[in-house]
Amino acid sequence: MTTIIQTKNLSKSYGKTQVLKNIDLKIEQGEFTAIMGPSGSGKTTLMNTLSTIDSFNGGEVWIEGKSLLDMKKKHLREFRQKRMGFIFQDYNLLDTLTVKENILLPLSLQKTPITEMEERLVKIVEALNIEGILHQYPAEISGGQKQRTAAARAIITNPAIVFADEPTGALDSRSATQLLEQMQLLNSLFKTTVMMITHDPYAASYCQRVIFLRDGKIVNEMFKGDQTEKEFFDRILNVQSVLGGERR
């Protein structure tokens, strides 16, 4: 398998507070991974560091074999735009654009040919079951549909990895389940690598792997293997009860 992200002794401090402590991590192509841990454990800092949104103080990070230490700010920005996708809890859709225009926006900025844009769009909206809302505006669709629109926008550029920050946090249970099932489908169909930050063991149970952080360190990890979501959910709950953390 191809390693998409690798860290060695990754450390991050804000002033005298060390948030990440010598983290060694590998994310392989096609993995659907959850990062869990109590508030203050370093989950968001880890995601921001790996996605080049934030810098780090120690160690090294490689993405697709490229060391972030060797890349200047301009190259990091271009790399983030072309090789990474993002799904946020608050959707981050533009209200003045239709669903279709929101999804195609990253390709428009990259000046992708219209025919290629349309070809990519068809495959993704079918997988996410949002063909019927393409000409509606964000204010006219549900929260679940907004999040699926955000997911489509995140993967339409064929990124090396999609970072999802609490993507089910603002959704009801039905919409959350639909989104998780469709993220599984995207992961399966397009081999999209996904790293998801979540407090929710139910959301994490849809992943192939769960990494637990506490006090800026990786303290446990679990692989789903052939288990069902319910079986994996129970295992995640057991670990979470020991490590501490919020539950939904």
Residue 128 lies in a domain: yes
User: How far, in Å, CA of 161 to CA of 179, rounded?
Assistant: 18
Q: Which pLDDT tens digit goes with each residue over 176-192?
A: 999 999 889 888 888 88
Q: Which pLDDT tens digit goes with each residue over 219-234?
A: 999 999 999 999 999 9
Structural tokens at position 185: 């489908």
**Using an 8 Å Cβ cutoff, are 39 and 13 in contact?**
no
Say which CATH number the domain at 158 has. Answer: 3.40.50.300
Instruction: Characterize 192-225 residue by residue with b for buried, 16 or more Cβ atoms within 10 angstroms of its Cβ, and e for exposed.
Output: bbbbbbbbbbbbbbbbbbbbbbbebebeeebebe
**Using an 8 Å Cβ cutoff, are 52 and 68 in contact?**
yes
The residue written with tokens 């860290």 in the block is 7
Q: What is the pLDDT of residue 186?
A: 85
**Using an 8 Å Cβ cutoff, are 83 and 24 in contact?**
no
User: How far, in Å, CA of 179 to CA of 183, rounded?
Assistant: 6
Query: Where does the chain have alpha helices with state H?
Result: 43-50, 73-83, 99-109, 114-128, 143-155, 173-190, 201-204, 229-243
- State how far the alpha carbon of 195 is from the alpha carbons of 42, 50, 111, 164, in Å: 14, 10, 27, 6
Closest CA to 81 of 19, 154, 8: 154
Closest CA to 63 of 155, 169, 168, 193: 193
Q: Which pLDDT tens digit goes with each residue over 48-94?
A: 999 999 999 999 999 999 999 998 888 888 888 888 999 988 899 99
Q: What is the pLDDT of residue 170?
A: 87
Residue 64 lies in a domain: no
Residue 66 lies in a domain: no
Residue 20 lies in a domain: no
Residue 178 lies in a domain: yes
Residue 189 lies in a domain: yes
Q: Which residues pair with 171 in a beta bridge?
A: none
Could you tell me how many residues make up the chain? 248
Residue 245 has pLDDT above 60, yes or no: no
Identity at 235, one-letter amino acid code: R
Residue 217 domain boundaries: 30-58+73-245
Residue 11 lies in a domain: no
**Using an 8 Å Cβ cutoff, are 25 and 218 in contact?**
yes
Q: How many domains, the chain?
A: 1
Percent of the chain scoring above 70 in pLDDT: 98
More confident residue, 245 or 220: 220
Q: Please compute the mean of the pLDDT values over residues 22-45 and round it to a whole number.
A: 94
Q: Which residues pair with 36 in a beta bridge?
A: 212
**Using an 8 Å Cβ cutoff, are 172 and 15 in contact?**
no
Residue 243 has pLDDT above 90, yes or no: no
Residue 124 lies in a domain: yes
